[in-house]
Amino acid sequence: MKEIDKDLIKESIRNILIALGDDPNREGLKETPKRVAKMYAEVFEGMQYTNEEIAAMFNKCFEDVKTGDLVVVEHIPIFSYCEHHLALMYNMDVSVGYIPKDKVIGLSKIARIADMVAKRLQLQERIGMDIMHILKEVLETEDIIVVIRGEHACMTTRGIRKPGTVTKTSAISGAFGSNQALRQEFYSLL
Ligand SMILES: [Zn+2]
């Protein structure tokens, strides 16, 4: 674990306020650097952990489940921040499918893993890869699919300014890559 340096964030935000031409000592801004540091520590909590550490945190599984049938957990809501602009990625949801080998993971754990990897400076594509990587480790299976949809404030509120533009990405491995019928089954359940 690598702890977030809240004091350095505080100092840096204060400098940004000055760079913007504002007075960091005026009433409305006095506590802002402290508030932002606290908020960043919360929304970037996942920066403190590697994927391996997150896998170890949420590895509660139920063993001896001999199903072999598709498990789908859909529409887990997450927020994240794009690493290119530090802009919010919002209205995001994550859907995960996997084929259990000998165990299934507690359903809330998938949501916690998705949450934690989203709490980093991210790319939507990498959020999917990170979730897949962690689930492979926890579930000991290659047969995983992660589909994410989301809107990016750096596209909808600035730059090209196209509100409503939805980005969809998927991370696919194992049988979901080789077996088109299985992939179709997953998509039809969403
Ligand atoms: Zn961006």
DSSP class of residue 55 equals H
143-173 pLDDT, tens digit per residue, is: 999 999 999 999 999 998 998 899 999 999 9
Q: How many angstroms separate the CA atoms of 177 and 12, rounded? A: 45
164 alpha carbon – ligand 1 mean position (Å)? 15
Any catalytic annotation for residue 154? yes
Third-level CATH fold of 54-189 = GTP Cyclohydrolase I, domain 2 (3.30.1130)
Supply the DSSP string of 113-133, one letter for each residue.
HHHHHHSSEE-HHHHHHHHHH
Any catalytic annotation for residue 63? no
- pLDDT value of position 68: 79
Of the residues 83, 125, 140, 184, only one is catalytic, namely 83
Q: Residues 6 or more apart from 23 whose CB is under 8 A from it? A: 17, 29
Using a CB cutoff of 5 Å, list residues around ligand 1, an ion: 82, 84-85, 87, 154
Q: What band does 107 get if pLDDT is binned at 50, 70 and 90? A: confident
Tokens of 150: 């989301």
- pLDDT value of position 95: 98
68 alpha carbon – ligand 1 mean position (Å)? 39
9-20 pLDDT, tens digit per residue, is: 999 999 999 999
- pLDDT value of position 132: 98
Q: Using a pLDDT cut of 90, give the percent of the chain over it.
A: 88
Query: Does residue 66 surpass a pLDDT of 80?
Result: no
- pLDDT value of position 120: 98
Q: How many angstroms separate the CA atoms of 176 and 141, rounded? A: 12
Any catalytic annotation for residue 82? yes
Any catalytic annotation for residue 124? yes
Domain ranges, ordered by start, for the chain: 6-43, 54-189
Q: How many angstroms separate the CA atoms of 11 and 8, rounded? A: 5
Q: What band does 179 get if pLDDT is binned at 50, 70 and 90? A: very high
Of the residues 82, 122, 133, 151, only one is catalytic, namely 82
- pLDDT value of position 64: 72
Of the residues 122, 124, 133, 151, only one is catalytic, namely 124
Q: How many angstroms separate the CA atoms of 103 and 147, rounded? A: 22
- pLDDT value of position 102: 84
